[in-house]
C-alpha cells in the first residue's frame, strides 16, 4: 500500500564502464541470495513534520515488512529519534534556548559547530552511544587549539557539559531514555592556586621568562603600579578593581546611580559582557554577586577626581558626547568594552616592566590584601560576591609574605610562652622536692645505752622484752600514729 511505504530489493553491483551502481536494473536481483531487501516509509515527528525513513540490509522481503511495520507503530518521539541526526537536534536545541546569557550561548555555539557536529553530526539521535562520544573526545584531545596547544581539561569538561545539556533536553522531550554523555570519563581540570610575586619568583621570571598561571602582586608592587599610571584616564577603574575586587564586567557596567559617595557605598546591579563586537548589558554573574560594597575615604576621593575629569571630557566633546550614565567611558561617553580593559591593562603592565599579572588577578590580589589586613573570610566573600566561602578560601586568598612572617612569629611566640610556663612549674616542683625529704629517708634518733635494770634499748631489738600483741586494727592505728609523729610540718 502506498500509505505504508514501499519494499524493494537492491544490490551493490556497479557498471564496469561508468562505475555507477546498476540499481534495479541488475539482472541478478532475481536470484535468492543476491542483494538485500529495503523499505521506505513516511512518518510524523514530534513537531508534526513529515520525515522519510529508509532502511535496508534485510535478508528477506518478510523481514523488511516486519521492520517497516515496527517503525510505523512507533510513537512520534521514537520516530523523531530515528529520523533526526545529532547535528539537527543540536542546532534545534540552540535555537530554542531563551534563558541563558548571550555570552553563554556564544560558547555553546562554538562547541557545537566546531567540535560536536563535525564528529557526531551524522549519527542518528537514537543510535548515539557512549562509545561514539568517547571516540570523539579522543580525537578532539589531539587537535591543537588556536594557540597551538592541546585543549585544556576545563575546555573538554565544558564541551561535555554542553552535549549533556542538549541530550538532557532530548530526554525531557521523550526522544532518549538515557544520556550517553553522562558515562564518559574525562580528566578533571586543575584549578591553579594564585601565588605571590616574591622577589625570588621575580628574579626567576626575569631570567627564564617562566611565570605562574595565576599570580598576585604584593602591596608594594601594587603601589608601584598605581604610582606609574597616576595620569591614566582610567586610573579610578584600576584602583577600584585592585582594592575592592570588582570583576571587569562589573567595573565596566558601573553607573553613577550605583554610587553613593556621601555614604561611601557602591552597589553592583549589572555588568557588561561582549557578544562578538557588541556590548550586552546583563545581570551580575550570580545572586550573590548583586551586592553593596563599602568604600574607604581614599577610594571616594579617587572617584570624585574621576568625576571631575569626566566632566572636562564632556565639555571638550561637545555635541559628540553621548550621555550614558556610566562611570568609565570613552572620551565620547560610550561605555568601555571589557575586552579593551584587559588589553589596556596588559599594555600598562608591560610598559612599566612589572611582574606579569592578568586583570582578573587584581581581584585575587584584592582578596589577599583584605585578608592580610585583618578581614575575615566571610567579609572577603561578601566583598567579592561569592556564593560559597570555600571558593574564597581555596582560590582567591593568597597568603602574602608579611602575613606569613607574622603567623610564624606568633606561632613561635605562643610555643615559647607555653614552654616558659612549663619550665617554671618544673623548676618550682623540683625545689619543693629538695626542700621536703621523704619520711622513709629521714634519720632515726639514736637511743642512749641501756642501763642495768632499765628498759631495753630500741637499737638492740634482741634485748627487747616481749610485748603483748594488740589487735590488728589497733596495730594499724598505732603505725599510722607513729608515721604522723615523724612527718615534718
Q: Among the residues of 121-180, which ranges form H helices?
A: 130-140, 153-172
314 sits in which H/E element: helix 297-317
Beta bridge partners of 267: 292
* DSSP line for 18-62: T--B-GGG-TTTTSTTSSEEEEEEEEE-TTS-EEEEEEEEESSHH
Query: Hey, what's the torsion of the CAs at 475, 476, 479, 481, to 10 degrees?
Result: -100
Cα dist from 473 to 381, 468, 482, 487, whole Å = 75, 14, 14, 22
| Residue-level pLDDT at 335 | 94
CATH architecture of 195-403: Orthogonal Bundle (1.10)
- What whole-number distance in Å separates Cα of residue 345 and Cα of residue 359? 6
Q: What whole-number distance in Å separates Cα of residue 435 and Cα of residue 67?
A: 107
Angle at CA of residue 129, ends 123 and 135, nearest 5°: 85
CA distances 128 to 11, 40, 120, Å, are: 27, 22, 8
What is the DSSP annotation of 376-410? -HHHHHHHHT-S-HHHIIIII----HHHHHHHHHH
Which of 131, 133, 126 minimizes the C-alpha distance to 176? 126
The boundaries of every CATH 1.10.150.130 domain in the chain are 86-183
Indicate the burial class of 450 (C-beta count within 10 angstroms; 0-12, 13-18, 19 or more): middle
State the CB neighbour count (10 A cutoff) for residue 127.
11
Instruction: Answer yes or no: are the C-beta atoms of 56 and 36 closer than 8 Å.
Output: yes
Residue that has been written with the C-alpha cell 584616564 in this structure:
233
313 CB contacts (<8 Å, ≥6 apart)?
Answer: 321, 331, 333
Residue with cell 602582586: 217
Cα atoms found within 13 Å of the Cα of residue 162, Cβ hemisphere only: 25
Query: Regarding the domain delimited by 86-183, which CATH topology (the fold level of the hierarchy) does it fall under?
Result: DNA polymerase; domain 1 (1.10.150)
Report the chain's terminal Cα–Cα distance, integer Å.
Answer: 124
Residue-level pLDDT, tens digit, the chain, 489 residues:
445 778 888 888 888 888 888 878 887 787 888 888 887 777 777 777 777 777 777 788 888 788 777 777 676 777 777 888 999 999 999 988 888 888 888 889 999 999 999 999 999 998 999 999 999 999 998 887 777 778 888 889 999 999 999 999 999 988 899 999 999 999 888 777 888 999 999 999 999 999 888 899 999 999 999 999 999 999 999 999 999 999 999 999 999 999 999 999 999 999 998 877 788 898 998 888 999 999 999 999 999 999 999 999 999 999 999 999 999 999 999 999 999 999 999 999 999 999 999 999 999 889 888 888 888 888 888 888 888 888 887 777 666 566 666 777 777 777 778 777 777 765 666 665 555 555 554 555 555 554 444 444 444 444 444 555 555 555 555 444 445 444 444
Rounded-to-integer distance, Cα 442 and Cα 374, Å: 62
Please report the pLDDT score of residue 224 as a whole number: 95
Element (H, E) at 119: helix 117-120
Residue 17: per-residue pLDDT: 83
User: What is the Cα–Cα distance from 233 to 327, expressed in whole angstroms?
Assistant: 12
Is residue 125 within 8 Å of 90, Cβ to Cβ? no
Q: Pick from 391, 356, 29, 36: which is nearest to 204 by CA? A: 356
Count Cβ atoms below 10 Å from residue 167 Cβ, excluding itself.
24
Contact 37, 64 (CB under 8 A): yes
- CA 324/CA 308 separation, integer angstroms: 16
Distances (CA, A) of 242 to 252, 283, 353: 14, 22, 18
Residue among 271, 325, 328 at smallest CA distance from 303:
328
Judged by DSSP in three states, 333 sits in coil
Domain with CATH 1.10.443.10 in the chain: 195-403
Amino acid at each position: 500500500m502506498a500509505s505504508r511505504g514501499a519494499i524493494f530489493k537492491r544490490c551493490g553491483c556497479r557498471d564496469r564502464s561508468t562505475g555507477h551502481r546498476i540499481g534495479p536494473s541488475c539482472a541478478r536481483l532475481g536470484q535468492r541470495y543476491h542483494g538485500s531487501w529495503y523499505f521506505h516509509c513516511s512518518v510524523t515527528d514530534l513537531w508534526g513534520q513529515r520525515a522519510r525513513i529508509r532502511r535496508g540490509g534485510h535478508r528477506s522481503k518478510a523481514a523488511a515488512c516486519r521492520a517497516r511495520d515496527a517503525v510505523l507503530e512507533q510513537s512520534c518521539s521514537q520516530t523523531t529519534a530515528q529520523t533526526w541526526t545529532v547535528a539537527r537536534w543540536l542546532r534545534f536545541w540552540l535555537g530554542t534556548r531563551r534563558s541563558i546569557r548571550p555570552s553563554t550561548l556564544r560558547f555553546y555555539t562554538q562547541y557545537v559547530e566546531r567540535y560536536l557536529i563535525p564528529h557526531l553530526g551524522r549519527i542518528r539521535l537514537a543510535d548515539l552511544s557512549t562509545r561514539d562520544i568517547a571516540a570523539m573526545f579522543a580525537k578532539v584531545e589531539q587537535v591543537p587549539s588556536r594557540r597551538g596547544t592541546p585543549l585544556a581539561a576545563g575546555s573538554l569538561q565544558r564541551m561535555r557539559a554542553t552535549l549533556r545539556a542538549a541530550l538532557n533536553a532530548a530526554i525531557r522531550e521523550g526522544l532518549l531514555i538515557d544520556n550517553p554523555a553522562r558515562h564518559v570519563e574525562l580528566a578533571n581540570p586543575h584549578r591553579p592556586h594564585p601565588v605571590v610575586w616574591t622577589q625570588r619568583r621575580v628574579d626567576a621570571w626575569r631570567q627564564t621568562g617562566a611565570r605562574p598561571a595565576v599570580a598576585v602582586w604584593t602591596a608594594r608592587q601594587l603601589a608601584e603600579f598605581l604610582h606609574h599610571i597616576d595620569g591614566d584616564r582610567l586610573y579610578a577603574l584600576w584602583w577600584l578593581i585592585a582594592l575592592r575586587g570588582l570583576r571587569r564586567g562589573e567595573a565596566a557596567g558601573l553607573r553613577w546611580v550605583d554610587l553613593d559617595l556621601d555614604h561611601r557605598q557602591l552597589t553592583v546591579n549589572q555588568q557588561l559582557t561582549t557578544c562578538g563586537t557588541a556590548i550586552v548589558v546583563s545581570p551580575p554573574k550570580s545572586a550573590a554577586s548583586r551586592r553593596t560594597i563599602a568604600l574607604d575615604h581614599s577610594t571616594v576621593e579617587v572617584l570624585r577626581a574621576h568625576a571631575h575629569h569626566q566632566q572636562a571630557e564632556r565639555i571638550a566633546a561637545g555635541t559628540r558626547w553621548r550621555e550614558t550614565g556610566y562611570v568609565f567611558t570613552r572620551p565620547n561617553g560610550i561605555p568601555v568594552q571589557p575586552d579593551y580593559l584587559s588589553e589596556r591593562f596588559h599594555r600598562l603592565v608591560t610598559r612599566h616592566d612589572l611582574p606579569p599579572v592578568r586583570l582578573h588577578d587584581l581581584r585575587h590580589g584584592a582578596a589577599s590584601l583584605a585578608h592580610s589586613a585583618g578581614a575575615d573570610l566571610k567579609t572577603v566573600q561578601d566583598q567579592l560576591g561569592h556564593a560559597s566561602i570555600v571558593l574564597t578560601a581555596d582560590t582567591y586568598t593568597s597568603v602574602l609574605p608579611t602575613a606569613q612572617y607574622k603567623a610564624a612569629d606568633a606561632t613561635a611566640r605562643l610555643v615559647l610562652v607555653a614552654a616558659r610556663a612549663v619550665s617554671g612549674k618544673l623548676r618550682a616542683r623540683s625545689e619543693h622536692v629538695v626542700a621536703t625529704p621523704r619520711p622513709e629517708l629521714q634519720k632515726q634518733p639514736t637511743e642512749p645505752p641501756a642501763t642495768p635494770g632499765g628498759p631495753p634499748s630500741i637499737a638492740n631489738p634482741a634485748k627487747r622484752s616481749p610485748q603483748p600483741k594488740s589487735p590488728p586494727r589497733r596495730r594499724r592505728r598505732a603505725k599510722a600514729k607513729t608515721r604522723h609523729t615523724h612527718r615534718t610540718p
